Chain A
Amino acid sequence: MSLQFNNEQMTEFKRLIAHYPEGKQKSALLPVLHLAQDSFGGWLPTEAMDYVAGLLQIEPIEVYEVATFYSMYNLKPVGKFVFEVCQTGPCMISGSENIIAYIQKQLAIQPGETTKDGMFTLKLVECLGACGYAPMMQVGKIYREHLTKDKVDAIIAEYRMQIVAQN
């Protein structure tokens, strides 16, 4: 088994399961899957799900059936930055279609695809609870709201800079 939480992640795991009563550790499954996804490169390979099952002492199938139900878990590798753009009614009437088309053009990918350099993935998602600040998208743990074409350009440039700075 190569996938494992490091010490810091293990401490967080213990904090998460402590929220639930004795014998009800399965309740921590959703939070622990978030932790696993964040720890193992932004997605959940089978190996990661099996590891979580072992930690929580439940059957692997109990993890798979949950991981496939919720839209935030990625079951395939994704880019370093995932643009999850809201396409539901309120965002649509506030111009999300133009923004989606513009991102597609700038990144030269279709929804569901990742750029060749592995940097960006474009996903179309349903209402994120930011309808008054539309058009919007979620990138990682933050919301980018009131999107315009200029703002999209600036955001893409910002993430490219981040990667350059890390290398």
Chain B
Amino acid sequence: MGVKLLLEKANVPGIRTYDVYRREGGYVAAEKALKEMSIEAIVEEVKKSGLRGRGGAGFPAGMKWSFIAKPEGVPRHLVCNADESEPGTFKDRYLMEFLPHLLIEGLLISSYALGSNDTYIYIRGEYAWVAQILEDAIVEATKNGWLGKNILGTGFDCMIHVHRGAGAYICGEETALIESLEGKRGNPRIKPPFPAIQGLWMRPTVVNNVETLAAVVPIIKMGGEEYAKIGVGRSTGTKLISACGNINKPGVYEIDMTISVEDFIYSDEYCGGIAGGKKLKACIPGGSSVPILPANLLLKTAKGETRYMNYESLSDGGFATGSMMGSGGFIVLDEDQCIVKNTLTLARFYRHESCGQCSPCREGTGWMEKILQKIELGKGEMSDIDLLWDIQRKIEGNTICPLGDAAAWPVAAAIRHFRDEFEWHINNRALSQTSNFGLQHYADPIHVPA
């Protein structure tokens, strides 16, 4: 069994309630932080821990906190990003649903460190029942003196507010989230200014993911240095992975980032192998936006080394032969899955979710969907593959926010690694409507250059 820092108590009966959470050692870290530590010391521990943002970009949390502007007399805000809409990702939901007080405790400590008296949880609108669980936990925490005025006699006031979104993936992007929190359309802002200078209501704001903020609790409890000893290299601590697709045990797992991808997929402690005894074809290891990898490149890097479930190893080889840790949404495809169709559903998703501000993203996502649809329906031309490649290349890097890149990468990776499957669809138009390209050579061991 790997180390569990976040989900250790997830199965304790009644852990959702304040009393049980407290009895199991809850709010001890908050007490320590507020009573015994200075603000600088808390930020220092988070820096030492090496904690990287768990929302997808992996930016060091302690560094982000130290950027927050502190102009005299202007309120500052912490905003918790619980928008969780990246296909394949459902870890934050699990954490909030089963351990609401862990998040509240993390938010309290972080709010104290950042000087946020009004902290917001922006939760995707569809998670209505999870929002209710959080509201209930906030009432309990307030009743027990952990939120409200003059917490623990420190003079620090803090309230946590739950704000429900209304169905828009783009609102997970931090500046779109801020716009949405101001009651507007979720159109990302042009940066700079960065939220740390001018964010919510033009006040200094830090936006962090649910899991990032929950991880502050074990960091304060054990100290940043101890936290940093778990894991490997710059992948410190533990990471929640939401695993789905064609595996025996879909679900949310906490890993310590030293486990190999192969073990994660095949061991009974985690995914339990491919469902129905089938073969692994491909995997999108970090949420729908990151490059898809064929089985051979997933389990081993291009150099023939074992690939591990951590930031560095998953991105080994860059986009040519690697992928990314992303949000931890681990999507597994078996031998019967069609890459063209899978890519099409993702292209449709990005077209649907583009806010429409930038032409390359708005128009490009629409075209990619149309062309993929054409190939999928057995009406594709060979030139369509190059056209797809050209469109994705023109989107990437040419837009206000990274949704453009997120839409381009899955298409690029699918063509890069599975071009023969696209060609097969075009060369076998009728056959492609009734059967699949299948596994072909994707699971073969890759050739290791001498």
Contact assessment for B333 and A127 in the assembled complex, using a CB-CB cutoff below 8 Å:
no
**Known contacts A92-B345, A132-B252, A24 near B245 by CB under 8 Å:** no
A101 in contact (CB, < 8 A): no
B342 in contact (CB, < 8 A): yes
A73 in contact (CB, < 8 A): yes
A78 in contact (CB, < 8 A): no
Question: B-facing mask of A73-86, CB < 8 A → 1, else 0?
Answer: 10000000000000
Contact assessment for B184 and A66 in the assembled complex, using a CB-CB cutoff below 8 Å:
yes
- Please give, as numbers and ranges, the residues of chain B lying within 8 Å of A129 by CB-CB distance: 84-85, 89-90, 93, 124, 126-127
Considering only residues 150-186 of chain B, those with a C-beta below 8 Å from chain A are 161, 163-169, 180-186
Contact assessment for B124 and A24 in the assembled complex, using a CB-CB cutoff below 8 Å:
no
Top 6 A-B residue pairs of the complex, sorted by shortest distance between their CB atoms: A29-B183, A70-B166, A132-B250, A71-B167, A72-B167, A26-B183
B244 in contact (CB, < 8 A): yes
- Please give, as numbers and ranges, the residues of chain B lying within 8 Å of A133 by CB-CB distance: 90, 250
**Known contacts A73-B166, A128-B126, A132-B252, A88 near B93 by CB under 8 Å:** no
Give the one of B120, B126, B251, B288 with max A CB within 10 A. B126
Partner of B337, one of A56, A70, A93, A138: A93
Contact assessment for B345 and A87 in the assembled complex, using a CB-CB cutoff below 8 Å:
yes
Partner of B244, one of A34, A131, A138: A131
- Please give, as numbers and ranges, the residues of chain B lying within 8 Å of A21 by CB-CB distance: 75, 118, 201
A19 in contact (CB, < 8 A): yes
Stretch in B3-11, B258-266, B293-301, B346-354 touching the partner = B346-354
Considering only residues 83-128 of chain A, those with a C-beta below 8 Å from chain B are 87-90, 92-94, 125-128
Contact assessment for B331 and A131 in the assembled complex, using a CB-CB cutoff below 8 Å:
yes
Partner of B288, one of A24, A62, A89, A130: A89
B329 in contact (CB, < 8 A): yes
Contact assessment for B349 and A126 in the assembled complex, using a CB-CB cutoff below 8 Å:
yes
B378 in contact (CB, < 8 A): no
- Please give, as numbers and ranges, the residues of chain A lying within 8 Å of B163 by CB-CB distance: 19, 27, 30-31
Contact assessment for A34 and B182 in the assembled complex, using a CB-CB cutoff below 8 Å:
no
- For A141, give the chain B residue with the smallest CB separation: B128
Task: Please report A residues at the B interface, Cβ cutoff 8 Å.
Answer: 19-21, 24, 26-31, 33-34, 56, 58, 62, 65-66, 69-73, 87-90, 92-94, 125-134, 138, 141-143
**Distance (whole angstroms) from the CB of A61 to the closest CB of chain B:** 12
- Please give, as numbers and ranges, the residues of chain A lying within 8 Å of B250 by CB-CB distance: 131-134
B246 in contact (CB, < 8 A): yes
Contact assessment for B349 and A88 in the assembled complex, using a CB-CB cutoff below 8 Å:
yes
**Known contacts A21-B118, A24-B201, A131 near B167 by CB under 8 Å:** no
B212 in contact (CB, < 8 A): no
- Please give, as numbers and ranges, the residues of chain B lying within 8 Å of A24 by CB-CB distance: 182, 201
- For A38, give the chain B residue with the smallest CB separation: B128
- Please give, as numbers and ranges, the residues of chain A lying within 8 Å of B128 by CB-CB distance: 141
- Please give, as numbers and ranges, the residues of chain A lying within 8 Å of B334 by CB-CB distance: 93
Contact assessment for B165 and A94 in the assembled complex, using a CB-CB cutoff below 8 Å:
no
- Please give, as numbers and ranges, the residues of chain A lying within 8 Å of B331 by CB-CB distance: 89-90, 93, 131
- Please give, as numbers and ranges, the residues of chain B lying within 8 Å of A19 by CB-CB distance: 120, 161, 163
**Distance (whole angstroms) from the CB of A46 to the closest CB of chain B:** 18
**Distance (whole angstroms) from the CB of B326 to the closest CB of chain A:** 14
- Please give, as numbers and ranges, the residues of chain A lying within 8 Å of B87 by CB-CB distance: 88-90, 126-127, 131
**Known contacts A89-B288, A129-B127, A66 near B185 by CB under 8 Å:** yes
In the bound assembly, the distance between CA atoms of A147 and B186 in angstroms comes to 32
- For B132, give the chain A residue with the smallest CB separation: A141
**Known contacts A89-B349, A90-B244, A129-B127, A34 near B341 by CB under 8 Å:** no
B88 in contact (CB, < 8 A): yes
**Distance (whole angstroms) from the CB of A43 to the closest CB of chain B:** 13
**Distance (whole angstroms) from the CB of A102 to the closest CB of chain B:** 19
Partner of A71, one of B75, B168, B180, B252: B168
